[in-house]
Structure 1
């Protein structure tokens, strides 16, 4: 199994507590996901992120094909981090860590680290090279710009 990694860092002009308030709510994931993916939460219990929480949603990541995805929050420490993993969905493995750190100048350093693997062996590796890696990069770039708009454009 070939394992891939994406890591992004963003500095947000707000406190760790305000970041946590936004990012620990599953409903806000839709806000930072590109509209063309038709992201829709199907189920979550309405609570902030906590260990053991299950979230189900549908999206159209490629060619308008609708897929279901189930994630579980496997770890969570308020104002510091949470980890989600895919239980059911398109990846063989999806492990996403979200870290929040206060900086000396009152900002928050947000770090995302995703490890993922695709099914189908060599075909999955080819799909990653041709499509998946580029699509994931575009999603994280969209999130970066959306977060800039939501938090860093405030004066």
Structure 2
């Protein structure tokens, strides 16, 4: 089963990066390139343990739907989202938010996945998904980083 990791250093505290990473609206804006939208479950605000969201997006010219649930949650250290239904045979995405020791966060994504369709899925993993999926995570993480590193508005 394929696994990949993406590390992103963010100059913001772990609790801020954690909360932003669970924000449905932020995820939608980060994935604008694939016209991703939340079409079921929690469709706005932050996700919590046991909650799910159904995403709809266009990848490889095909419209996909994927429902993910938050199956583990320990703020601000980590959370896990897992596919409940969707295009993968298996999808497990662990998000880790350790402090860098200097007020920032080392955002670490660990993704285990498997494509469906037996040998045809294996071909898809090798031919496209092993490059495409890490790129999507890096795009998302750069957006989280940009938002997290921007000072939040002052409260009145």
The TM-score normalised by the length of structure 2 is 0.86
Residue 23 (structure 1) shift? 1.2
In the alignment, which residue of structure 1 is the partner of 2:55? 57
Equivalent residues in 2 for 1:118-129, closer than 5 Å: 118-129=115-126
Contact residue 50 and residue 75 of structure 1 kept, 8 A: no
Structure 2: stretches of 5+ with no match in the other structure? 152-156
Residue 57 (structure 1) shift? 1.7
Structure 1: stretches of 5+ with no match in the other structure? none
Residue 78 (structure 1) shift? 1.3
The SS at the match of 1:76 is strand
The SS at the match of 2:66 is strand
In the alignment, which residue of structure 2 is the partner of 1:6? 4
The count of corresponding residues between Structure 1 and Structure 2 is 150
Distance 1:131 1:68 in 2: 19
The SS at the match of 1:105 is coil
Distance 2:33 2:24 in 1: 19
Deviation per CA, 1:26-62: give whole Å up to 9, x if none. Answer: 22211222x2311000123345332210111211111
Moved more, 48-57 or 90-99: 48-57
Cα RMSD for the two superposed structures: 1.8
Distance 1:72 1:115 in 2: 15
Query: Does residue 31 of the first structure (1) align with residue 29 of the second (2)?
Result: yes
Distance change in 2, residues 1:143/1:25 (3 Å): closer
Deviation per CA, 1:103-128: give whole Å up to 9, x if none. Answer: 21111111100000011111111111
